[in-house]
Amino acid sequence: MREALIEYDWPLYRPPSEARSLIFQATLGCTHNKCAFCVNYTHKRYRVRPLPELFAEIDRAAERLPDTRRVFLADGDAFALRPERMIRILDRLYRRFERLERVTAYAGPGNFRNRSVEMLRPVRQAGLSMLYFGLESGDDEVLRRARKGYRCDEMVDACLRAQEAGFDLSITVILGLAGPAGSARHAEATARALDRIRPRYAAALTLMLEPKKPSFAEIYGDPDWRMLDQAEILAECRTLIDCMQADGVIFRSNHASNYLALKGDMQRDKQRLLATIDRALADPGLLRPEWLRGL
């Protein structure tokens, strides 16, 4: 019997822009795994995959898919790997896939603890080109309630160090995370945080909650918290975009959780993005139906 090309440990997640990438699970699960809004890795224990196992998988894939140009390293924060180990993985990938153009990975704020720019730079030079980083919010109270584990300033500092080391960043924020009462504050604070970072990409997701115990509302600790409706989500997204002042950030809301797919270059396309939201507010028929939304 022929050995499987890649045996994934499900569930498996990747960013929308990595749809055409070959995925290798360098790690399993998430080192934090406590965010109130997330159930992605609740049934996985975080562990680092043995290098012989991972290298054998890379070698098999290289034989069958030699023209691979893009690779994404999973799971939730593969950047948690020690720099020396990550460099060995990158070396194997670029040697085995001769046409490989880029390797990317999820990263979390804890991955940067005690890592200087000098420690990060060799990983970038080895070929890890972009990191997907979940900021979620620029509002410290929202982050505390959502159990992100870090304050906004700490995450901004991590992002700035990553960029100084040469990484491109795609920063993810979550619409609806603060509920109706904190919506405007959440959007405005998040815009300020993105302005401080000035990442190459900023991506908005819309909060979707899978059943869990305790529920997000219980964990969040606000009896008046509720999910935002379509109009409120669009209004929050509009505030976020309107408040952003950084130039050259590519903004996207192309994740399947969103009601409205947007893409534009800040500040060049800002007014077009705002006008698109205004049209959708006036005509809900332009929005993605609930049955087409997903995590």
What is the per-residue pLDDT across 127-161, written as a single tens digit (0 to 9) for each?
A: 999 999 999 999 999 999 999 999 999 999 999 99
Answer yes or no: is 247 within a domain.
Answer: yes
What is the per-residue pLDDT across 199-238, written as a single tens digit (0 to 9) for each?
A: 999 999 999 998 877 888 888 888 889 999 999 999 999 9
Q: Is the pLDDT of residue 2 over 60?
A: no
Answer yes or no: is 262 within a domain.
Answer: yes
CATH number at residue 129: 3.20.20.70
Q: What is the pLDDT of residue 286?
A: 92
Domain residues for the domain of 159 are 16-282
Answer yes or no: is 288 within a domain.
Answer: no
Answer yes or no: is 227 within a domain.
Answer: yes
Number of structural domains found in the chain:
1
Answer yes or no: is 1 within a domain.
Answer: no
Take residue 17 and report the two structure tokens written for it.
């822009």
* Average pLDDT, integer, range 193-201: 98
Answer yes or no: is 295 within a domain.
Answer: no
Answer yes or no: is 6 within a domain.
Answer: no
Whole-model pTM?
Answer: 0.96
Answer yes or no: is 289 within a domain.
Answer: no
Residue 25 and residue 76: Cα distance in Å, rounded? 9
